Amino acid sequence: MDFYQQQELARKSSRRLVWLYALAVVCIAVSVHCVVCALVAFGLAEETEGYGMAFTECLLNPMIAVWTLGGVAAMIVLTSLFKIHQLSSGGAAVAVSMGGREVSPQTQDFKEKRLLNVVEEMAISSGVTMPRVYVLQNERGMNAFAAGFSTKDAAVAVTRGLLDTLNREELQAVIAHEFSHILNGDMRLNIRLIGTLHGIFALTIFGMLLWQAARIMSMTRGRSRKKDENGTMAIVVGLFVLGLLIWLIGHIGYFFGRLIQSSVSRQREYLADASAVQFTRNPMGLANALKLIGAEGSRLETPKTVEMEHMLFASGLKSMFATHPPLIDRIKFWDGAFNGDFTEARRLLQKRTEERPTSL
């Protein structure tokens, strides 16, 4: 499979997953509607021809559907938009928050000059506006990321460890990978998925608020001296059950939302790898960079690493929510002879620490 086929496969997989993400939101709204109808039907069962009939009538009642489906949709959309607005501050702000220092065009540091040259080359190759360039000076782990809501506010950042270790071809492959994220709108897609996930999680908070309301009503009822409080008790129980079920639906939706989000992110990483090879025409440059990262490690020290996990070139997170494909799988795709042994890469790392490049 060449890089064009790999790109198309990754794009198709991403589109399917995004539609699945939207379907998950719809299923959450329908689930809440069914829960509300079940509780309403329970209260009306004695006045109708049975629970089943009451549930069906509530389920098909347009007024109840508007309030439940519309309410859940409004909650998810509004909280999502709020989160997206928070995350859309621009690539430079993200790079600075991660501890980045902008590289000046007048820098006298050889490796920073080479970085600027490579970024400019990739900007020309990909047809993307030259982004701002940052170095995470205090990070020895080998990593990089691109950030920004559009090509106009994009930034590319690399760690000092990556800058000091990779040669020009390997650095070119990493930067080309990050340019793919900018060119294909991956940052914008990720921000929107994070926003929607935040909106789904808002349901769990709403469920907890209903619990709290039921608890307060129960305490008020306990202090009251009125004898006929069956109606109040029914409301308390109803709020508690509704809150519990909405909380549960929110957690289940959040779990599957995280799985889908991670799957989308992994597919975009495959797409970025294929685009990096397209831009550089050098698959071994990418494979060798990944081998060195596998030998050295990609861990970052900043506490914001978990929040920015999906933006990184390589990740150390190993779980069902991993935002990157396994490093060995990415290497084997471009170097079929690789057997998973990083011994040779470690020797090369040791050799490079004793040498200093002398040309751009």
| Catalytic site positions | 178
Report the C-alpha gap between 115 and 163 in whole angstroms. Answer: 8
The strand pairing partners of 144, in sequence order, are 158
Q: Which residues of 79-102 are buried (b: 16+ CB within 10 A; e: fewer)?
A: bbeebbeebbebbbebbbebbbee
Report the C-alpha gap between 119 and 116 in whole angstroms. Answer: 5
Query: CB of 158 within 8 A of CB of 174?
Result: yes
Enter the DSSP assignment of 319. S
Report the C-alpha gap between 120 and 104 in whole angstroms. Answer: 13
Sheet of 132-136: strand order equals: 101-102, 132-136, 155-159, 144-147
- What's phi and psi for 135, nearest 5 deg? -120, 130
173: left (phi over 0), alpha (psi -120 to 50) or beta: alpha
Q: Are strands 132-136 and 155-159 parallel, antiparallel or unpaired?
A: parallel
CA angle 250, 323, 125 (to 5 degrees): 130
Q: Helix, strand, coil % (nearest 5) of the chain?
A: 70, 5, 25
Tell me which H or E stretch contains 350: helix 343-353
Angle between helix axes 3-44 and 186-223 (nearest 10 degrees) is 20
Report the C-alpha gap between 95 and 101 in whole angstroms. Answer: 8
